[in-house]
Amino acid sequence: MKIALHDAGGKDYLQFMQQLGVEYVVSAVGPGASGALEVDDILRKKEYFAEHGVIWDVIENLDPRIYYKVMLAEEGREEQMDRVCESIRAVGEAGIGVLQYQWMLLGGLRTEYSPTGRGGARVPRFDMAVAARMPAAAMDWLGGGVYPTVPDRELSAGQVRDNLRYFLARAVPMAEECGVKLAAHPDDAPVPVYMGVARILVDWDGLQECVDAVPSPNSGLGFCMGTIGTMANMDVVQAIRHFGGLGRIHFAHFRNPRGQVPYFDEVFPDEGDIDMVAAVKALNEVGFDGVIRIDHCPGVIGDNPAADRSFAFQVGYLQGLVQALERLGD
C-alpha cells in the first residue's frame, strides 16, 4: 500500500512529506471555465507535485459543484452529468488513477472539537443529541460556510439511491473507457437521515448497493476506516475482507474512532475501537496496493493549523505497522 497525506499547500509541506518518507500526495482540483475538470489543470498540478518529489494518483474529491443537481435530481442534471463525464475523461487523460466522490448531500457532520482526548488533545466529535439541537452548526462545524448541496426539501432513501444510480449509470462506463477507478466515500457521520435528508452510504447494505448498482471493477469505495468504523454494529476488518476481496477498495483512509453513531470521537490510531493491526493485515491479505491516506487526527499542544505533529505521529504509526507486518510475513 502507498501511504499518503493530503496536500496542505506550499512547497514546505511537500518537503515535510518527503522528510517523513511519504511518497504519495492526495489532492483536489477545481472545475475550469468549462464547468468540468480540465486536463491541463490536472497535468499542471501533477507536474508541480512531481517536481517536489511526490506522486499524485488520487483526486479527492470530485467537486460537488460539478454534480450537485444530479444528487438532488434538479433541472439541469443532464448537463451536469455531461460535465461529470468530461471530468472523468480529463482525469484519465492526465494519468490519474482514482477519482473519489461523495454522496453526502449535507456534507460531513461533526459537533465540536473537544479537549477531552489523551493528554488534553482536542478530538473531533459527533454527538447526534447535539446535532439534533443545532443542525446547521453540525454541518458547518469548522466554519467553512454553507455547503453547496443543501436541499430545500426532504429526500427519502429511495430518492437519494435513485439519484446515485443515475449518476453511476453514466459515470461508470466513462470510467471504464478512460481507465479511471471511481471511489465512493461513505456518509460521514453515518446517520441514516439528517434534517429530513436521507444518507444512504451509512451501513453494510448501503455500501454493497453502491458497488452493485453498476457492477464494474472501476466502481468501488473510498474505504474510510474512520467513517465505516463509526457505522452502527460495523466490523471494519470484516468489511475490508469482504469489499477488498471483491476488488472494490480503490482508496483508503487511515483513521481510528472511538464509539459509533450516535456518538463518537476521532482519537489517536493506537487508542480507538478498530484493531488497526488486523485492519492493515486484512488490506495486505486482500491485495490492496492502492493509496491509503492519513485522515482526521486530534489536535495536539503546540501544533500548527495543518496539524503537522499529529499527522507525523500517525504516519509513523502506519509505517511501523506496514514494516512490522512485512518483516513478520503478515
What integer pLDDT is reported at residue 146 of this predicted model?
Answer: 47
pLDDT tens-digit readout, 26-60: 999 999 999 999 999 999 999 999 999 999 999 99
- CA 69, CA 204: separation in Å to the nearest integer? 26
Q: What is the pTM of this model?
A: 0.94
**In angstroms, what is the C-alpha Rg of the chain?**
19
Strands 181-185 vs 256-260: parallel, antiparallel or unpaired: unpaired
Residues 1-12: b if buried by 16+ CB within 10 A, e if exposed:
bbbbbbbbeeee
Q: What CA dihedral angle connects 143, 144, 148 and 153, to 10 degrees?
A: -10
pLDDT tens-digit readout, 104-115: 888 889 998 899
Mean pLDDT for the chain?
A: 93
CA 97, 254, 273: angle at the middle one, nearest 5?
Answer: 150
Q: Do residues 5 and 17 make contact, with C-beta atoms less than 8 angstroms apart?
A: yes
Helices 77-93, 157-178: inter-axial angle, 10-degree rounding: 40
Instruction: Please state the CATH superfamily assignment of the domain spanning residues 2-327 in this structure.
Output: Divalent-metal-dependent TIM barrel enzymes (3.20.20.150)
Cell of 138: 453540525
pLDDT at 274 exceeding the cut of 90:
yes
Distances (CA, A) of 310 to 107, 208, 237: 24, 33, 24
